[in-house]
């Protein structure tokens, strides 16, 4: 997964969002918290790579939905 410096910065800026999302999803997922957090981190990277601001959604909305999708499947 090659990220540009801007994408890397966006991931770093939103690590807290991944942590918060993993905490909220813990009750809905049988994974251990550390594993769930890893899934959320990977999904955050995917969200940064796939985000299209022209769709009209805030990045955080897109990222949380992406993390939920990966964690709950």
Residue ranges, the chain, pLDDT below 70: 1
**pTM of the full predicted structure?**
0.92
The count of domains in the chain is 1
CATH code of the domain in which 49 resides: 1.20.120.1810
Domain range holding 64? 5-72
- 28-33 long-range contacts, CB within 8 A, separation 24+: 28/72, 29/71, 29/72, 31/71
């Amino acid at each position: 997964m090659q990220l540009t410096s801007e994408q890397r910065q966006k991931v770093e800026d939103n690590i807290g969002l991944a942590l918060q999302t993993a905490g909220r999803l813990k009750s809905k997922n049988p994974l251990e918290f550390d594993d769930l957090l890893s899934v959320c981190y990977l999904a955050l990277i995917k969200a940064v790579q796939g985000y299209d601001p022209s769709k009209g959604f805030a990045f955080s909305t897109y990222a949380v939905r992406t993390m939920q999708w990966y964690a709950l499947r």
